[in-house]
C-alpha cells in the first residue's frame, strides 16, 4: 500500500512551556520519552504510536480532544493513579451518562477527560 492507510500517525500537542509539559507528560502521566526527543520537541512512546509535544504560541486554543487513549479495562486503575498524583478531571453534562470519581459512564462505555497545564483536552476511554 502506498496511501496513508499503510502509514503510522502520531498525536501532536502544542504547549507554552516545554519544561512544564515535560514534567506533566513524563512525571504525572508517566509517559516515556522516545529516543527521537530533542530539546525543542518532546516525543513520548504511547503504545505503538507516539505523542509529539512542541512549543507554540497557539497552545491550548483547541476546544476539542487533542489526544485519546483507549485504556480498556485499565481505565479505572489509570484514573485512580492520576487522581493520586493530583490530576483533576473534567465533568461534562451528557444525556444518558453518569459521572462518578472523574469517570463518565454511558451504556457500559467509560470516558475520562483531563487537561494538561496548557488546557489541551486529553481523553481516556474504556475502548
| Single pTM value for the model | 0.91
The answer to whether 104 and 50 are in contact (CB under 8 A) is: no
Please give the Cα distance from 86 to 1 (Å, whole number).
45
All structural domains of the chain with their residue ranges: 4-125
CB atoms near residue 89 (< 10 Å): 17
Which of 8, 102, 84 has its CA nearest to residue 52?
A: 8
Residue 55: C-alpha distances to residues 51, 62, 111 (Å)? 13, 14, 28
pLDDT computed for residue 5 by the predictor? 83
Domain 4-125 class, CATH top level = alpha beta
pLDDT computed for residue 1 by the predictor? 52
Low-confidence ranges of the chain (pLDDT < 70): 1-2
Amino acid at each position: 500500500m502506498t496511501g496513508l492507510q499503510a502509514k503510522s500517525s502520531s498525536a501532536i500537542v502544542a504547549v507554552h512551556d516545554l519544561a512544564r509539559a515535560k514534567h506533566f507528560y513524563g512525571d504525572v502521566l508517566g509517559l516515556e520519552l522516545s529516543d527521537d526527543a530533542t530539546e525543542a520537541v518532546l516525543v513520548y512512546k504511547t503504545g505503538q504510536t507516539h505523542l509529539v509535544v512542541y512549543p507554540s504560541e497557539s497552545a491550548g486554543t483547541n476546544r476539542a480532544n487533542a489526544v485519546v487513549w483507549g485504556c480498556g479495562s485499565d481505565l479505572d486503575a489509570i484514573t485512580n493513579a492520576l487522581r493520586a498524583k493530583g490530576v483533576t478531571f473534567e465533568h461534562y453534562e451528557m444525556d444518558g451518562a453518569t459521572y462518578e470519581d472523574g469517570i463518565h459512564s454511558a451504556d457500559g462505555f467509560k470516558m475520562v477527560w483531563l487537561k494538561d497545564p496548557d488546557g489541551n483536552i486529553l481523553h481516556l476511554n474504556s475502548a
